[in-house]
Amino acid sequence: MNFEFVKGVPIGYIKKFSCLVIGDIHLGKELKFENKGVTFINVNKKMLENLSDICSQKKIKKIIVLGDIKESIMYPDKNEYSLIKEFFEGIKKKGIDIFIAKGNHDGHLEEVFKQIKINAVIDKEIFLDDFVFMHGNALPSDEAMMKKYLVVAHAHAVYNGEPIWIKTIIGKDVKKEYKKFNKKEKLILVPHFNPLLSGLELEKVEGFMPIFRNNIFSFKNKKVFTLNGKEIK
Ligand SMILES: [Mn+2]
């Protein structure tokens, strides 16, 4: 496949586009804990550093974020604004183009990016050659169902508490929803990037994701991998 899992981290890599793919960064999550008296030191900086290191190693030109950029669903507060600014300025500084498929936490995201003066392509679905990227809280568009690969996040899927990748093929009810589709389309579900997020155990992912719930993509035929690339049977 053209989509590789970077070993040990929740980051996807598409060599032919010099591109990294991450999901569910929920910037500002640590602020919620701070309100409860628990402080995490530099979560934001560490996430950025981990990402930056891989960008340098692989000479990355594009980053695609699969939504849930921020923790706030509507407007971020001042502290969250700073975290968003810090994170994306760090990426921009490396000369990397930013593409964002909007998630359910990304209300007013275009305004936020204007405010922090960061250029990014922000859309419901991001199309790149034979790939389409979306958050995964809604069903794909007709156009998205014609591509070779659909890449989503949203689930925060875990197995025994560990973040996981899921790959699968088209499901048997796809015909009920779409007149035309690519019957060879593959789905890739990307794990959450922010380590502070609580996960959703694998058996609950089917009910949570509309593409699985409606059997557009097959949950039954899935393959599941740990961050180290080990397949879970
Ligand atoms: Mn999320």
Question: How far is ligand 1, taken at its centre, from the CA of residue 142, in Å?
Answer: 24
What's the 151 CA to ligand 1 centre distance in angstroms?
14
pLDDT of residue 1: 66
Write down the pLDDT at residue 33.
85
Closest to 24 in 3D by CA, of 126, 134, 130: 134
Ligand 1 center from residue 120 Cα (angstroms): 19
Q: How far is the CA of 217 from the centre of ligand 1 (A)?
A: 20
Strand residues in the chain grouped as ranges (E): 3-5, 12-14, 19-22, 62-65, 97-101, 121-123, 125-128, 131-134, 149-152, 157-159, 162-169, 186-189, 200-201, 223-226, 231-232
pLDDT at 97: 98
Which CATH number covers residue 7?
A: 3.60.21
Supply the pTM of this predicted model. Answer: 0.96
Q: In total, how many domains does the chain have?
A: 1
pLDDT of residue 34: 82
pLDDT given for residue 42 in this prediction: 86
How high is the pLDDT of residue 167? 98
pLDDT for 233 equals: 83
Q: How far is the CA of 65 from the centre of ligand 1 (A)?
A: 11
Say what the pLDDT of residue 159 is.
97
Which residues form the domain of 191? 3-232
Q: Which residues of the chain have pLDDT under 50?
A: none
**88 Cα to the center of ligand 1, angstroms:** 18
